[in-house]
Amino acid sequence: MTNLAVKLPGLSLKNPVMPASGCFGFGREYSKFYDLGKLGAVIIKAATGSELFGNPTPRVAETPSGMLNAIGLQNPGVEKIIEHELPFLSQCEIPVIANVAGSIIDEYEMVAKAFNQTDMVNALELNISCPNVKQGGMQFGTDPKMAAMVTERVKRVSNLPVYVKLSPNVTDIKKMAKAVEAAGADGISMINTLTGMQIDLKSRKPLLANQTGGLSGPAIKPVAIRMIDEVKQHVSIPIIGMGGISSAEDVLEFLLAGADAVAVGTANFQNPLICPEIIEELPGVLHRFGFDSVADAVGKGGSHAHV
């Protein structure tokens, strides 16, 4: 029997697969396709202090092997999320990771406090890497000092474990990872989307109303793998890996690079059943490549592996 269970700070996962923040709403829509209880956990869409309406449309554009999005953190605000969305997820009996965003550090604190006061959230994911909002978001994720500061401030008000979601739009991801670890992060999520642009040939204007957007999907998987491989050598806190995962083989590749668990994002759009399908196939794939458990495979590949 292949053991898929994963233990992470604050999270007992029956398997390492969870939908990524922003690609799964608050779960309701996908619960029509399958029992969410099959998932390792769910990472809900980013919450801000008050309601955000996001960017004008078009907000998405397809790219080779991926897509750009510039939703702009649209969400009903933390209070409404706690009141109207979390009770539904609580019934599903899976760990819930709440993605926390803000335009100033006070807002991150306020949102984190609100989630701490409920018993419906198991961990926080700090979104310091959204490329689609003018204030906050990525500005915290590209400066190690700022990233450390927001992590520290949120840790101070939170009993929940804090995973910091890193931006790939930096020259040295190790510095970012080390800075948030030193500031008390319990784990790292990586990677968020890469900033990109696509120009419409007819209008000669960017396809997205926001002009730039975040690139996701299989196109960014090698970037994610390289960055996890690099960060794993320099931190001792666990990593939730994400970026273009669309198969059980992809999951194994992330585990080998050093991820302890994984999140699936864009692939949900093509196949709403992708998460349960991957979970079903994972034992066979692990076995085929010589592993008895998920934990066995973590960090067993990549540039520093002795194989």
Partner 1 sequence: MIKKEMVRVESSSLVARDTVKMVLENEYISRLAVPGQFLHVEAAGHTLRRPISIADADREIGTVTIIFRVTGSGTKQLASCQPGMTLTVLGPNGNGFPFMQAGSRVLLIGGGIGVPPLYYLGRSLAVKPCTVKAILGFQSAADVFYEKEFREFAGTVIVTNDGSFGEKGLVTDVIEQAGSFDYYYTCGPTPMLQAVTRKLKRKPGFVSMEEYMGCGVGACFACAIPARDGGYKKICKDGPVFPAEEVRL
Catalytic residues: 130
Give the x-and-dash track for 200-219 against partner 1 (CB under 8 A).
-----------------xx-
Contact 112, 124 (CB under 8 A): yes
Give the x-and-dash track for 238-257 against partner 1 (CB under 8 A).
--------------------
Cβ count near 62 (within 10 Å): 11
Among 4, 6, 36, 71, indicate the residue that binds partner 1 (CB under 8 A): 71
Instruction: Count the residues of the shown chain that bind partner 1, applying the rule CB under 8 A.
Output: 34
Work out whether 33 is an interface residue with partner 1 (CB under 8 A): yes
Work out whether 172 is an interface residue with partner 1 (CB under 8 A): no
Among 79, 152, 272, 300, indicate the residue that binds partner 1 (CB under 8 A): 272
d(CA 269, CA 189): 21
The stretch among 69-77, 125-133, 223-231, 232-240 that binds partner 1 (CB under 8 A) is: 69-77
C-alpha distances in angstroms, 293 versus 148, 178, 252, 255? 34, 28, 11, 11
Give the x-and-dash track for 44-63 against partner 1 (CB under 8 A).
-x-------xx--xxxxxxx
Smallest separation, CB 96 to partner 1 (Å)? 15
Q: Nearest Cα to 16, choosing from 305, 271, 258? A: 258
d(CA 231, CA 225): 10
Q: Which two tokens stand for residue 247?
A: 């198969």
Half-sphere exposure of 285 (CA within 13 A, CB side): 18
Smallest separation, CB 68 to partner 1 (Å)? 10
Smallest separation, CB 65 to partner 1 (Å)? 7
The stretch among 25-33, 86-94, 146-154, 188-196 that binds partner 1 (CB under 8 A) is: 25-33
Toward partner 1, which CB reaches closer, 71 or 286? 71
Toward partner 1, which CB reaches closer, 184 or 218? 218
Beta strands in the chain (DSSP E): 6-8, 11-13, 17-19, 42-47, 60-63, 66-69, 96-100, 123-127, 162-165, 187-190, 194-197, 212-216, 239-242, 261-264
The single-letter DSSP state of residue 185 is -
Work out whether 271 is an interface residue with partner 1 (CB under 8 A): yes
Among 8, 13, 36, 67, indicate the residue that binds partner 1 (CB under 8 A): 67
Q: How far apart are the first and last CA of the chain?
A: 24
Smallest separation, CB 169 to partner 1 (Å)? 20
Q: Scanning the structure block, which residue is given the tokens 């608050």?
A: 26
Contact 182, 259 (CB under 8 A): no
Instruction: Using CB under 8 A, list all residues that contact partner 1.
Output: 22-25, 28-30, 32-33, 45, 53-54, 57-63, 65-67, 69, 71, 74, 217-218, 266, 268-273
